[in-house]
Structure 1
Amino acid sequence: MQSPIEQQKVAAALKTLDISIGNLELLREEMQASLEAMEIIEEQVLHQNEKLIKERQLYYNLFKFAPNAYLVITTQGIIKEINYTAAALLNMLPSLLIGKPLINFVSQLERPLFRTKLNQSLNVKSVQEWEVSICPRNSQAFDALLLVKPVRDAAKTQSLLQLCLHDITKYKQTVKQSQLAASQQSVSNVPVETLHRLDGLHILFVDDEADTRELIAAVLKQYRIMVTTVASVTEALSELERSRPDIIISDIRMPEKDGYALIQKVKALEIEKGWQIPTIAFTAYLGEDRAKVLGAGFNSHLHKLAEPMELIAMIAQLTGRG
């Protein structure tokens, strides 16, 4: 027979056991409720994932079949994604372009400048405008405008560039034809004394695009201006060793050495030889910084889409023949 003390201990143990069983039952109910809640959350997550997958597929299809040419490249120029329109411009299947360097389709002369732009792309947060000559596979080259935006990939581990590619060959031809037509029309209305004031001026025009050189030379010659055209900074410096022009007009964006390199050489020559040659920066880039151009040493700045009379007026003003 148990003593009173032993009976008290048994009773206390039974009470503790009842409390533990109650706690376990409460815990089981809480776990059951948590499992039910997790099942609901899991179902919601699965539903959300399905929705995201459908949306991703929708946007992927919009990208793939968009009427505009889009592609995504690394900062080394490797193609990561490309849609059918862009692939058609490069004259290859999209699957064959993934992993290939985009620079393979850039003209040989412009590749050094294209590499420089790739290296500098991460330092620019806004949308950039790049104008390059694209050489599709087994097809004719065309003038292209690239709208470039730096982004991060989905995992935020790699920097990428989103590109929108436009063939602007016909646009540039149309603009140049209209400029030439406008110039031919306007020159017929220019007083004879104005033509005489410009008569005999010698202009050195620097641009890597042959059709631009031909157009500007044709415009200037109508005003009895003597024009020497060259395709590079190196050729321009060689020409400056032979003669001193009354004015220099130079493109800014050129492969190898650009217009900024030329103006530095011109300023050095002016100090060395006591010259003072007015200079005009002539650019096709809408985003070209006018303050940067003038700060580099150019006397004036003009966009290539400006009317021919604007160029003539600028030449007359800079040479004192206005």
Structure 2
Amino acid sequence: MNEDEFTRYIQIIRQQIEALHRYTMHSPTQQQMVVEALEEIACSLENLQLLQEQMQGSLETMEVIQEELLQQNEYLAKQRQRYYDLFEFAPDASLLTNAQGIILEANRAAGELLNVLPSFLVGKPLVNFVAEAERSVFRTKLNQLSSVNSVQEWEIPICPRRGQSFDASLMVAPVRDSFNSLVSLRISVWDVTKYKQANLQQLQAAATQLLPLAAAVELPRSLDGLQVLFVDDEADAREFITAVLEQHGISVTAVGSVGEALEVLERSRPDVILSDIRMPDEDGYALIKKVRALEAQKGWQIPAGAITAYLAEDRAKAIKAGFQSHLHKLAEPTELIAMVAQLAGRA
């Protein structure tokens, strides 16, 4: 019923009431009863009129709210489209997975990196694209995210479909609900193979230029007999650092993983530990944590220095993790020797 019809019915009732007033019976008792009844009807009509006005006000308010909701929906639709476009056409490979690593969304760059259509990736476990030898490590890292809130940076070998495997750096951001339960993961993926190769080439060039110079200089032998454990997954880096240290009479044990380093520490205690930060299985942060736990058991105190090929590596993070010093792999050999001497107390 619209407003005009509602008003018309009220007018009809009022006319009928007026007619009753004109033709009411002359008996005082009956007249009084009719009058009282008419007054009740009149009162009800007044209340009905008031209710109608309130309803009209509510309808007007609802129309305003509806208009605001429409505007908000339009704004949210535009924002959603904007963020979708940013995700879809971003230059970096981006994925959204559930807590178990099942891909829910993938942008175009992710499809190109993994050599498949983005729509094909949806519903597939990301672990399917991890090198087979590293899948158990990847699953372990996923399981550990249930108790982690900060963004994680992993280095994992990735195998695209019908393509050459490459070293990938993954930025993994956990997403939690209002109950702090892990619901999804936002993952960015970069191919760092060329970057690592460039760093190795720079290391080799530095070795070619600097080692002959270091050999030609007569240096004090204050570091003779110093025992250094060096951990790095790159064979070329191990060879270069070992050569630099041995030029100064330092005895070096070079290993390629955290597991190998812990095996060495079970047999002997070095004077200094040097470790790369970025390693594909367990990284330098995992190593220093385990070393400090081992020290607590054996009553040791082994100074440790972090060495990295990444320019953006956070020095403060390395120091907070338990390293006493931090150096880039492309630093001058004299800086490396100075760091080792300082850590060993032979500066």
The answer (yes or no) to whether the contact 1:278–1:319 under 8 Å persists in 2 is: yes
Answering whether residue 257 of structure 2 is matched by residue 232 of structure 1, we say yes
Q: TM-score, normalised by structure 1?
A: 0.77
Report the equivalent of 1:141. Answer: 165
More deviation in 311-320 or 191-200?
191-200
Letter in 2 for 1:229: A
- Cα displacement (A) at 1:85: 0.6
| Unpaired stretches in structure 2, ≥5 consecutive residues | 1-24
The residue correspondences of 1:291-310 to structure 2 (distance < 5 A) are 291-294=320-323, 300-305=324-329, 307-309=331-333, 310=335
Letter in 1 for 2:201: Q
Report the equivalent of 2:142. Answer: 118
- Cα displacement (A) at 1:84: 0.8
Say how many residue pairs are matched.
Answer: 314
CA separation of 1:177 and 1:22: change in aligned 2, threshold 3 A: same
The answer (yes or no) to whether the contact 1:282–1:303 under 8 Å persists in 2 is: yes
Report the equivalent of 1:130. Answer: 154
- Cα displacement (A) at 1:10: 0.8
Letter in 2 for 1:175: N
Q: Which deviations, in whole Å up to 9, do the C-alpha atoms of 1:220-246 show, x marking residues without a partner? A: 456575544322344345556777766
* Mapped partners of 1:4, 1:22: distance in 2: 26
Within the candidate set 131, 137, 141, 1:107 is matched to 131
CA separation of 1:264 and 1:291: change in aligned 2, threshold 3 A: closer
Within the candidate set 288, 291, 315, 1:263 is matched to 291
The answer (yes or no) to whether the contact 1:251–1:259 under 8 Å persists in 2 is: no
- Cα displacement (A) at 1:7: 0.9
More deviation in 7-16 or 174-183?
174-183
The higher-RCO structure (CA 8 Å, 6+ apart) is 1
| Unpaired stretches in structure 1, ≥5 consecutive residues | 295-299
Answering whether residue 218 of structure 2 is matched by residue 193 of structure 1, we say yes
> CA RMSD of the aligned region, Å?
3.8
* Mapped partners of 1:2, 1:109: distance in 2: 108
Q: TM-score, normalised by structure 2?
A: 0.72
* Mapped partners of 2:282, 2:76: distance in 1: 46
Report the equivalent of 1:164. Answer: 188
* Mapped partners of 2:304, 2:122: distance in 1: 44
The answer (yes or no) to whether the contact 1:107–1:135 under 8 Å persists in 2 is: yes
- Cα displacement (A) at 1:247: 4.3
Q: Which one has the largest radius of gyration?
A: 2
Q: Which deviations, in whole Å up to 9, do the C-alpha atoms of 1:37-72 show, x marking residues without a partner? A: 323432442343233223312321221111122222
Letter in 1 for 2:92: N
Q: Which deviations, in whole Å up to 9, do the C-alpha atoms of 1:143-184 show, x marking residues without a partner? A: 222233333479998632222222222222223333443454
Report the equivalent of 1:297. Answer: none
Sequence identity of aligned pairs in percent?
Answer: 51
* Mapped partners of 1:240, 1:17: distance in 2: 99
* Mapped partners of 1:28, 1:240: distance in 2: 87
CA separation of 1:288 and 1:303: change in aligned 2, threshold 3 A: farther
